[in-house]
Structure 1
Amino acid sequence: MAGDSFKAIPITIIFLLFCIYYVSISRLADSRPLGLDSASQINESHVYIWPLPSEVHSANGTLTVDPDLSLSVTGDGGGSTIVQEAFQRYKSLIFKHNSWFSKFPFSGRTLYDITTLRIIVNSDDETLQLGVDESYTLLVAEKNDHSIIGEATIEANTVYGALRGLETFSQLCSYDYGSKTVIVYKAPWYIRDKPRFPYRGLMLDTSRHYYPVDTIKQIIQSMSYAKLNVFHWHIVDEESFPLEVPTYPNLWKGAYTKWERYTIEDAYEIVNYAKMRGINVLAEIDVPGHAESWGIGYPDLWPSPSCREPLDVSKNYTFDLISGILADLRKIFPFELFHLGGDEVNTDCWNSTPHIKQWLEDHNMTSKDAYQYFVLRAQEIAISHNWTPINWEETFNAFATKLNPKTIVHNWLGGGVCAKAVAKGFRCIFSNQGFWYLDHLDVQWDGVYNAEPLEGIDDLAQQNLVIGGQVCMWGETADSSNVQQTIWPRAAAAAERMWSGREAISTKNVNLTALPRLQYFRCLLTRRGVQAAPVNNFYARSPPTGPGSCYDQ
């Protein structure tokens, strides 16, 4: 599992001096875990971080942050555009309250404690793949007798670790309305952090409802705030085929309208936008079921005009077209994983269509055999294009011994599937619909939070085969008008489960240990322009029932 061999990141001299200072201060920070407040009231003296870091040390100092905060990037990755642009994004979030005021003489402030954010990136390799090192160390030090300069330092092995450190630093910064100054409370800070799982995803279904590119970008941006790192794009389904495929240009005739489409340029833009935020884009083309829309442009893919799915298993043309799609998509999506679906395949069409029924007889196959044949042939095509295939769990449930050993099993129907999959040597992604399907609006935040991807898996080697999990935003009842409040804040509950150590966040009393931090994070999202719903609603995305503080809802 990525990060299990966490490397101590040397901030050497600065850290040693910090330790000397840290042990010498007389008033130590409250020893309780971050967020131990009543569920109904946020403690304004606390600092709330979401998701919870691996290791945190703080004290009781207060530092001011210069609105002209400068950036110093060093190390082999010091020339990274990814880091430079991320710094500007976070600077605009941290100093969104009229920071120009502090530059005037009548503001009464001329000196600040933190004037520089120093980022050390040890590698210039910006390849973004599964298991990339996202660990980081964050030190926020203050001036003292040992002459430590007032600065914040992030050190990471990769630019993507630096991005995660920037998010944490931004959450330490708080705007003080009295002095109109950004302040870091509980300083100095020393944080060492790494993700628990390498795969931490959110799926968006753009077939049941079309989402404009800007909406997709907003969702990806909000994912970065919770340190999610895989955007699973369920692009097409039986209802619509909105994506341009140059080799088969009639496919997107299956879009709802000519305005509800994604060009190749749109897809490139989404992939690049996500990479700048440390997020992989996992594409899905669900076969052989969920594909009726394909036949709008290419009717020969249908078993018959009156029986339109699954795709026709008897024709080589079907597989030639799938290969053409994957060849085109391989030029757009660099992520090593590709989702082939394979779920909810009703083979009645195959049995009732004369030419397919004859093909089954000629090949001595049942319709169940043909389902297996289709899935395995699609896997071979994906692998030939240098992809690792992911399939929904039905394929594992139906013919586990026949699946390609590279297959990643994607759980969704219920519990216990990952335990069975890893016992047979497969990797697994956890998305139990009872907890992590966001279209299930009656699943509340604590149900999401308490779901455990490693439940029932005690063997360490098998635990390492669970690469992570994801929440799924199916689109039958969501579009751009309500998708963000359907996703957030419940997706953040799963995000902490996938990022933070199991021991640190597994507790019976989540209302004391997690709820105040989640309430704070929800309000942080709203301040950043994310339309996150109240945390405590019984029914997701419901509006508040009356007046009250953002933090009490």
Structure 2
Amino acid sequence: MALHSFSILLLPLFFHFILTSAASRSSDIAGGVRIWPLPALVTHGGQRRLCVANTKDFRLNTDGSNFTDASGILKEGFLRLLDVVRVGHVVDANLSRLDSSALLLGIHIIVSSPSEELQYGVDESYRLSVPAPAPAPGKPAYAYLQARTVYGALHGLQTFSQLCSFNFESRAIEVRSVPWNIIDQPRFSYRGLLIDTSRHYQPLPVIKKVIDSMAYAKLNVLHWHIVDTQSFPLEIPSFPNLWLGAYSKQERYTTADAEEIVRYAQRRGVSVLAEVDIPGHALSWGVGYPALWPSKDCKQPLDVSNEFTFKVIDGILSDFSKIFKYRFVHLGGDEVDTTCWRSTPHIRNWVRKKGMNESDAHKYFVLRAQNIALSHGYELVNWEETFNDFGSELSRKTVVHNWLGIGVAPKVVAAGLRCIVSNQDSWYLDHIDPSWEKFYLNEPLKNITDSKQQKLVIGGEVCMWGESVDASNIEQTIWPRAAAAAERLWTPYDNLAKDTNQVFARLAHFRCLLNQRGIEAAPVSGLGRSAPWGPGSCFVQ
């Protein structure tokens, strides 16, 4: 782990931390620390505690920071922190009776970089310390949070929020087991969650709640599978008839809606990866533009022989580039059945005149779409079939998105391409049967031993395909199993539990925390989105 320059305020803490962390880490991993995902390095004290100043008086101090917070992103994150640590309770403790040294007055945050740019590979590391009460009456204490970027600071605030709890006797917010010393950074730069708004429309407030919950678990990429065979809900100004393929006029997203989702996510440290799935899964495109269909009787894949097809793709990606600023765009490419091309006379003749076969035509489509995306400044993500079929001919700027099984990732990185892991047997949330334990134990680097090749696995993603979820059940289908994958993607490999019994209580605690924050996470025990089995405490279900 690279160590950056330290504030003078944190130097004594750091040297104490280095000396004590190795001895305490094993007990923390065994369950003494109820932070999810587990930080890279953490120490804490015993029975001592600090009371948080009444939240209206709890202060944000940014003295010494290079970050001016001109847009208010850090202040907003701090205000959200105050909201979630209250967990809906009325905090009305009489703190004037306390010795001032037992009072936590605020958080001193130092951010090194002045930039608010959120992009793949942004530094998300942070250091957090919460002191113990002074041995004698003195000044009220501050927690200290240091980060290279504001996004690391937002992660640190999320961690701090999990150290806080409401004391029902004193009516105060407390931080127990002080002092806390944490140094943290993610294992993988890409930690994604896919949502699918084609199979069922998801209203904007639902998408925003998903983004909130992602931030709680330190997932940082919302993969928005916007369109598919069933519906095309997004407004595309270059081709305004495309969203005639939506289920209804009420189940659509305007470009302003998409911009709002990107803005909302960015201010929580979450990037939005937009997907346009081509050439298959595109029947809905032809509702507005029938010329995109091979024929009126055979409607997908998109017509490879028609220049208008690529003009539309160019228009979509041009409009995307004005909204979705993430480095990558997802071009789909899975489950392409070229039967329609074979059975449609004008396409069959075009393929023959080009001296191609169906496979060649498919490759032509994939590579041409890639070149269009590259022309708009994007790097590329494609589902793994494109690699399986045309691996050596894909752009070197391609990230291969694994989903069919665990065997493809080693082949992808051996070929020198990057990879995202989402193997369906373990990380598909629409598969209800896989337990949280399977999600937790799924290792993105399985069978990849070369260190250079390991670096080509940029991360992983859990996928919430939309056939069987809508606004009524998406949250309990995502959580808590997505949290199990989130720890796999954030926490250093050596800190991960080999026996999932060691983490059940901590995951149950996080699930209850999500419930307290208004996220409808299902019980940990049982299969995906199972109901509670009967009366009982949240912490044991």
Q: Residues 187 and 442 (structure 1 numbering): CA distance in 2 closer, same or farther, change over 3 Å?
A: same
1:490 aligns with one of 464, 481, 505:
481
Q: Is the 8 A contact 1:338 1:389 kept in 2?
A: yes
Residue by residue over 1:138-159, the C-alpha shift from the partner in whole angstroms, topping out at 9 and shown as x without a partner, is: 0101343597851101000000
1:382 is paired with a residue whose SS is helix
| Alignment partner of 1:218 out of 205, 209, 212 | 209
Unmatched tracts of structure 2, length 5 or more: none
Q: Does 1:267 align with 2:255?
A: no
Q: Does 2:535 align with 1:547?
A: yes
1: CA distance, partners of 2:367 / 2:4:
43
Aligned to 2:440: 449
Distance 1:400 1:31, change over 3 A: closer
Task: Select which of 134, 144, 148 maps to 1:144.
Answer: 134
Q: Deviations over 1:99-151 (max 9, x none)?
A: 4522598xx55845200211101111111111100000001013435978511
1:530 equivalent in alignment to 2:537: no
In the alignment, what sits opposite 1:431? 422
Contact 2:196 2:464 in 1 (8 A): yes
Q: CA–CA distance in 2 between the matches of 1:66 and 1:521?
A: 24
Q: Which residue of 2 aligns with 1:63?
A: 50
3-state SS in 2 of match to 1:386: coil
User: What is the rounded CA distance, in whole Å, between the counterparts of 2:88 and 2:531 in structure 1?
Assistant: 27
Query: TM-score if structure 2 supplies the norm length?
Result: 0.95
The residue type paired with residue 309 of structure 2 is T
Deviation at 1:542, TM superposition (A): 1.6
Cα distance in structure 1, aligned partners of 2:190 and 2:225: 17
Q: Is the 8 A contact 2:87 2:517 kept in 1?
A: no
What RMSD in Å do the two structures reach over aligned CA positions? Answer: 2.0
Distance 1:287 1:519, change over 3 A: same
User: CA contact under 8 A between 1:121 and 1:162: conserved in structure 2?
Assistant: yes
Candidates 26, 39, 54, aligned match of 2:40: 54
Question: Residue 33 of structure 1 is aligned with which of 5, 11, 27?
Answer: 27
Aligned to 1:396: 387
- Residue 359 (structure 1) aligned with residue 350 (structure 2): yes
**Structure 1 unaligned residues grouped into runs of 5+:** 38-45
State how far apart, in whole Å, the 1-side matches of 2:43 and 2:422 are.
Answer: 33
Correspondence list, 1:409-420, <5 A = 409-420=400-411
Q: Distance in 2 between matches of 1:342 and 1:380?
A: 14
Aligned match of 2:506: 517
Letter in 1 for 2:447: G
Bigger Cα displacement from structure 2, 271-280 vs 62-71: 62-71
The answer to whether residue 181 in structure 2 is matched with residue 190 in structure 1 is yes
**Letter aligned with residue 522 of structure 1:** R
Displacement after TM superposition at 1:8 (Å): 3.8
Letter in 2 for 1:343: D
Per the TM alignment, residue 186 of structure 1 is displaced from its structure 2 partner at its CA by: 1.1
> Contact 2:123–2:149 (CA<8 Å) still a contact in 1?
yes
- Give the match for residue 125 of structure 1: 115
1:471, 1:403 → 2: CA distance? 24
Which runs of structure 2 are paired with 1:252-401 in the superposition (5 Å)? 252-401=243-392
Residue 279 of structure 1 deviates from its aligned partner by 0.4
The 4+ residue runs of structure 1 with deviation greater than 6 A are 20-24, 28-31
Which amino acid in the other structure matches residue 167 of structure 2?
A: D
Q: For each residue in 1:522-543, what CA deviation from the matched residue of structure 2 results, as whole angstroms up to 9, or x when unmatched?
A: 0000000000000011x21121
User: Equivalent residue for 1:156?
Assistant: 147
Counterpart in the other structure of 1:168 = 159
Are 1:476 and 2:467 counterparts?
A: yes
Question: How many percent of aligned residue pairs carry the same amino acid?
Answer: 51
Per the alignment, do residues 18 and 247 of structure 1 end up closer, same or farther by CA in structure 2, a change over 3 Å counting? closer
After TM superposition, give the deviation of residue 7 of structure 1 in Å.
Answer: 2.2
- Give the conservation status (yes or no) of the 8 Å contact 1:224–1:277: yes
Matches of 1:428 and 1:20, distance apart in 2:
39
**SS of the residue 1:91 aligns to:** helix
Are residues 356 and 17 of structure 1, via their aligned partners in 2, closer, same or farther at CA, if it must alter by over 3 Å? closer
* Deviations 1:452-495 (CA, angstroms, capped at 9, x unpaired): 00001111110000000000000000001000000000000000
Change (3 A) 1:449 1:318: same
For 2:25 and 2:198, the matched residues in 1 are separated by 49
Report the 3-state secondary structure (helix = DSSP H, G, I; strand = E; otherwise coil) of the residue aligned with 2:144: strand
SS of corresponding position for 2:134: coil
Matching residue's letter, 2:488: R
**What whole-Å deviation, never above 9, does each CA across 1:423-469 have from its counterpart, x for those lacking one?**
00000000000000000000000000000000011111100000000
Q: Tell me how far apart the structure 2 counterparts of residues 238 and 421 of structure 1 sit (CA, whole Å).
A: 28
Q: How big is each residue's C-alpha offset from its partner over 1:68-117, in whole Å with a ceiling of 9 and x where there is no partner?
A: 21111231114351110000011111124544522598xx5584520021
SS in 1 for 2:187: coil
SS at match of 1:312: coil
**Paired positions, count:** 533
Shift of 1:22: 11
Structure 2 Cα separation of the partners of residues 116 and 29 of structure 1: 29
Partners in 1 of 2:83 and 2:395 — Cα distance? 47
Q: In structure 2, what is the equivalent of residue 239 of structure 1?
A: 230
Letter in 2 for 1:70: R
Q: Deviation string for 1:264-311 (max 9, x for gaps)?
A: 110000000000000000000000000000000000000000000000
Give the Cα separation in 2 of the matches to 1:104 and 1:16. 29
| 1:416 CA displacement | 1.6
One-letter code aligned to 2:50 = L
Check 1:96–1:516 CA distance in 2 against 1; reply closer, same or farther (3 A cut).
closer
Retained in 1: the 8 A contact 2:91–2:171? no
Contact 2:294 2:340 (8 Å CA) reproduced: yes
The Cα offsets for residues 324-376 of structure 1, whole Å up to 9 and x where unpaired, read as 11101110001010000000000000000000000011001111111100000
8 Å Cα contact 1:227-1:499 kept in structure 2: yes
Contact 2:50 2:133 in 1 (8 A): no
Instruction: Say whether the 8 Å CA contact 1:35–1:517 is kept in structure 2.
Output: no
Classify 1:321/1:141 alpha carbon distance in 2 versus 1 (closer, same or farther; 3 Å).
Answer: same
Per-residue deviation at 1:213? 0.4
CA distance in 2 between counterparts of 1:426 and 1:267 reads 30
Q: Which residue of 1 aligns with 2:198?
A: 207
The TM-score with structure 1 as length reference comes to 0.93
Match of 1:11 among 7, 10, 16: 7
Is this contact kept in 1: 2:17–2:43, CA < 8 A?
no
